Amino acid sequence: MATQKITIEPVTRIEGHAKITIRMNDDGTVDHAYLHINEFRGFEKFCEGRLLSEMAYITPRICGICPISHHLAAAKATDAVLGMTPPRPANLLRELMHMGQIIQSHSLHFFELAGPDLLLGFDADPAVRNVVGLVDLDEGLTVKAIQLRKYGQEIIAALGGRKIHPTFVVPGGVNKALTSDQRDTILEGIEQSIATTKVGLDIIKNWAAENKKDIDRFAVFPTGYMSLVTPENGLELYDGKAKLIGSDGNEIVKFEGNDYLDHIAEHVENWSYLKFPYYKPMGYPEGSYRVGPLGRLNVAEKLDTPMASEEHKLFKQLNDGKPVENTLLYHYARMIEVLFCIERVQMLLDDKDILSTDILNTKKDFKGEGVGMLEAPRGTLFHHYKADENEKLTMVNLIVSTGHNNYAMSHSVDMVAKEYINGHEVTEGILNRVEAAVRAHDPCLSCSTHAVGQMPIIINFEDTAGNIVKTIKRD
């Protein structure tokens, strides 16, 4: 029975609303470490009774880091409920906006959030280990990184009027066509964006080579992985079937968004407000899997753009074609995806239909129920709605991307705690490991949120009477 408790709070700087508790046994070993996600808002209930067409505008407020994920997943679910089919140009434009979002979200995380760790070092002074410190270290690179995120944000703004919580999708299409001037402006930014992304790739490759020992020791464990794929099992971010692979890399199942309930269920733990999705036939927790950049590049057999394809081949060699299990290599996978998205932007802008004004199909064949599924920056996102004939919602179910990684994050924390804590001495190094276990997954817990850099931590050792016997603190 656990007789002592260690609290790590806040884990806020990853996300805002998480903390870790470690229950200790009498002999100083770890009984169990818990990652508590400490926020609940209740969108599924309070969207009931709203109009379907509002969902693409309410649900982005789940997350301001990747609002486009919810904007587009809501649009897809709404189209499905209403039986509306957007014309091809509308889907191209929606995907273009999605690419803008992944570029901005990934580059934000890579440079501005994880970057201080990678470039300044995990052991740098916390007072400077942030984006301000990056400016002092390398202003030129920081400005380029800022401009890469800006590039993604400006694609979003060109289509939706503004960068965060834009207004673009409507049932059956989008509300505005792309102008040739806008297309040309976006095209002009491609070259510099690719150059910055390649710098990022060099940074992470060098970092991985220099820190191989840590990477191989740190929260490496087998799980399944899930991602959308093209019909030929290539990487797909906007539309396609979901594919789940096992820890050996072999396909377990491939399914349409409409059938997700046959394959995915969510478990609740009393100690977290974030649910734990799992592959239903295998049960919880055996059916847990991971999503996001690492999951996607593990699932995808190929990337259908030239430069990203070459990078993906190198990535696949890391574990001889088997899934790459190293949690810290999420950062590497993330940068390859940025390259893929910029190349997709080029392909979309070169498409003959991209400037078409055939952007809305008002023909309706009311179904009453529908699912929208896509790859948000952090993983597969599901919106499932039911509505009455007045188009008022009667049921809403959301499975957000970070949720899929919940078990993996919790397990990483538990693993790291059990491996490194023995006896009542807890060193700073252990705190570093514990926080990195969470951050590498790039949790977006308010769909969620990010934080940057290092988590400030206070650990209190309490005796069985609840008295604090020792405190370890790092601001």
Partner 1 sequence: MAKPKISSDWLGGCSGCHMSFLDLDERLLDVFALTDIRATPITDLKHPDEDGVDVGLLEGCINNSAHIEVAKMMRERCKILVAFGDCAVFGGVPAMRNFFDLDEVMRCGYINTISTDSEGMVPTDPELAVPQRVQSLNEVVKVDVFLPGCPPSADAIYYTLTELAQGRIPLITGDYLNWH
Q: Which residue's CB is nearer to partner 1, number 229 or number 452? A: 452
* Nearest distance in Å: CB 134, partner 1: 10
> Around 347, how many Cα atoms within 13 Å sit in the side-chain half-sphere?
13
Nearer to partner 1, 327 or 446 (CB): 446
Question: Could you tell me where the DSSP H helices lie in 367-457?
Answer: 401-404, 406-420, 428-439
3-state secondary structure of 179: coil
- Shortest distance, CB of residue 80 to partner 1, whole angstroms? 15
CB 298, min distance to partner 1, A: 24
CA-derived radius of gyration, the chain: 22
**Is 241 or 275 the residue whose CB approaches partner 1 more closely?**
275
With tokens 């095209």, the residue in question is 187
Q: At 429, list the tokens.
A: 């190094």
Contact criterion met (CB below 8 Å) for 155 and 166: no
Q: Report the distance separating Cα 381 and Cα 109, nearest Å.
A: 19
Question: In angstroms, rounded to a whole number, what is the distance separating the alpha carbons of residues 227 and 242?
Answer: 5
3-state helix, strand, coil in the chain (%, to 5): 45, 20, 35
Nearest CB to partner 1, comparing residues 197 and 446: 446
Orientation of helix 67-82 relative to helix 88-107, angle to 10°: 150
Residue closer to partner 1 by CB (options 37, 92) is 37
- Which CB sits closer to partner 1, 163 or 312? 163
Least gap, CB of 344 to partner 1 (angstroms): 22
Looking at the Cβ atoms of 39 and 419, the one nearer to partner 1 is 39
Shortest Å distance, C-beta 101 to partner 1: 11
State which residue, 253 or 300, has the beta carbon closest to partner 1.
253
Q: How far is the CB of 102 from partner 1 (least distance, A)?
A: 15
For the bound state, the minimum distance from the C-beta of residue 260 to partner 1, rounded and expressed in Å, comes to 8
CA-to-CA dists, residue 32 to 12, 27, 88, 453, angstroms: 21, 14, 51, 26
Which one, 61 or 302, has the nearer CB to partner 1? 61
Distance (Å, whole) CA 115 – CA 111: 4
What 190-194 contacts at long range (C-beta under 8 Å, 24+ apart), as own/partner pairs, is 190/342, 190/345, 190/346, 192/144, 192/147, 192/151, 193/103, 193/147, 193/148, 193/151, 193/342, 194/307, 194/339, 194/342, 194/343
Task: Name the minimum Å distance from CB 159 to partner 1.
Answer: 16
Give the nearest distance from C-beta 263 to partner 1 in angstroms: 10
Q: What's the residue count for the chain? A: 475
